[in-house]
Amino acid sequence: MAEINRAIKGTNDMLPTDSHKYQFVEGKMLEIASLYGFREIRVPVFEHTEVFQRSVGDTTDVVQKEMYTFDDKGGRSITLRPELTAGVVRSVIEHGIVNGALPAKVCYIGGCYRYEKPQAGRLREFHQFGVECFGAASPAADAEVISLGLQVLETVGIKNISLEINSIGCPECRKNYHKALSEYFNAHIDTLCETCRDRLSRNPMRILDCKSPVCSSLAKDAPKVIDFLCDDCQNHFDGVKAHLDAAGIEYTVNPQIVRGLDYYTKTVFEFVSGDIGAQSTVCGGGRYDGLVSQMGGPKVHALGFGMGIERLMLALENQKTDFPEPKRCDVYIAPMGEVAAIKATAICTQLRRDGFEAQSDVCGRGLKAQMKYADKIGALFSVVLGDNELTDNVCNIKNMKTGEVQQISLDDFAEQFMKIKHDLVLNSLEDSIV
């Protein structure tokens, strides 16, 4: 029995008491993305397993350890998406978007699934806001995507956030780098974890991203990819820095950033929060110029980022950020008796059509219990509808905060309510200015 009353480990419920915060943050994400020309895309929660193996890379932690993979009833191997870039790339190839007008800019918000050890800021189901830009080779595009991420973070009110950038080069400059890395790690082969011993011959760069304490301490002194960049990659990286400088965006170059997914090339970056402990990367992204063609599409440049929504919320909560007030019930109509209940339904219907949140009794409760409820939900106004009100066609509307009462006719209730609410908003605005 216990199982059906408890969510799966590493998953979170977003409760109605918090939804206004998520709606605010997610609303800003899409709104700001649209200022940069990014339009929303929605892709499935699951894909053929190869979509992730081919793109994220089969020597990464994500593919080797973290994917939720299963065979469906038709015997196909299916995986719950651990991130959205792979599915988005599959989609933009399938629908010919990368053959159309470029750059093509898309953004998304969606759930991701990774079998990881749950802890603060590390969940098995989490959500990402992300953007992807296809067909843009210039360093201006890298700076634009970074600037978008920063604007989102600043707009939702985050403080104490820093931008770290690096370049991990292209396959060309990586040849020499892989050689240097292999030499370095070969000298320490006995101390590497088992997974990394295997990575040493297949993809030594992945060792830099290993979370095991021994491998990560060895990684600190390993050769840095930034010292092996070819001219083209070095020029691109210099260009990104020049554009960031022009945009007035502060950053530090952190040669340790390699990112945990195989598809990155050239620029990689992270936004790191000083307020959420060990899981401090709120947003990570970069360029992945080879991925679209590797997935069967045309040769187009591409870049993007993924921002962890739960980690961002954690940082905002820890910083005691002020969110906009949650929406409240505008008016609660408390009917006494059947006839009044019918009238209440008519009034509420009109109020809602006019855009007000109106509630009435749907439990068959007495007046006292109804008023208690109206109080609990923080209704701004309340109205009691009894026999007298129905006969006179007038009722009293009460401001629940001040206790002030006004008369209002039942016939054009919604119209008059508009004026009452308008006055309330004006008064509270005046109060906040004083």
Nearest distance, CB of residue 347 and ligand ATP, angstroms: 46
Residue type, 185: F
Q: What is the side-by-side strand order in the sheet with 394-399?
A: 358-360, 331-335, 381-385, 394-399, 405-409
CB 282 within 8 A of CB 307: yes
SS3 173: helix
CA dist 10 and 31 (Å) reads: 29
Which member of 23, 50, 69, 122 binds ligand ATP (CB under 6 A)?
Answer: 122
C-alpha R_g of the chain: 28
Beta-carbon-side half-sphere exposure of residue 48 (alpha carbons within 13 Å) = 10
The yes or no reply on residue 57 touching ligand ATP (CB under 6 A) is no
Least separation in angstroms between residue 267's CB and ligand ATP is 14
DSSP 366-385: -HHHHHHHHHHTT-SEEEEE
Contact status: 83 vs ligand ATP (CB under 6 A):
yes
CB of 271 to ligand ATP, least distance (A): 8
Q: Counting Cβ atoms within 10 Å, is residue 330 exposed (0-12), middle (13-18) or buried (19+)?
A: buried
19 vs 188: CA distance, rounded Å: 50
Nearest-angstrom CA–CA distance, 208 and 22 = 34
**Nearer CB in complex with ligand ATP: 164/361:** 164
Smallest distance, Å, CB 279 to ligand ATP? 5
126 binds ligand ATP (CB under 6 A): yes
Selected from 110, 139, 149, 308, the binder of ligand ATP by CB under 6 A is 308
How many CB atoms within 10 Å of residue 16?
8
**Considering beta carbons, is residue 114 or 266 the nearer one to ligand ATP?**
114
Residue 178 binds ligand ATP, judged by CB under 6 A? no
Helix (H) or strand (E) holding 429: helix 413-433
DSSP 8: P
167 binds ligand ATP (CB under 6 A): no
Q: Which is nearer to ligand ATP, 173 or 314 (CB)?
A: 314
Q: Which residue's CB comes closest to ligand ATP?
A: 308
- State which residue, 126 or 332, has the beta carbon closest to ligand ATP: 126
Among the residue ranges 71-79, 119-127, 157-165, 315-323, the one whose residues contact ligand ATP (CB under 6 A): 119-127
Using the structure block, give the residue that is written with the tokens 């080879």. 290
Residue 310 interacting with ligand ATP (CB under 6 A): yes
3-state secondary structure of 9: coil
275 near ligand ATP, judged by CB under 6 A: no
Q: CB of 29 within 8 A of CB of 155?
A: no
Residue 306 found at the interface with ligand ATP (CB under 6 A): yes
Closest distance between ligand ATP and the C-beta of residue 260, in Å?
4
Please give the DSSP secondary-structure letter assigned to residue 63: I
Shortest spacing between CB 386 and ligand ATP, in angstroms: 53
Among 89, 282, 340, 408, binds ligand ATP (CB under 6 A): 282
- Determine, following the binding rule CB under 6 A, whether residue 87 of this chain makes contact with ligand ATP: no
Nearer of residues 241 and 311 to ligand ATP, judged by Cβ? 311
Residue 108, burial from CB neighbour count under 10 angstroms (0-12, 13-18, 19+): buried
Q: Which of 67, 123, 268, 383 binds ligand ATP (CB under 6 A)?
A: 123
The crossing angle, in degrees rounded to 10, of helices 85-94 and 49-56 is 110
Residue 260 touches ligand ATP, criterion: CB under 6 A: yes
Q: Does 162 bind ligand ATP (CB under 6 A)?
A: no
Query: Which positions touch ligand ATP (CB under 6 A)?
Result: 83, 114, 116, 121-123, 126, 128, 260-261, 279, 281-284, 306, 308, 310-311
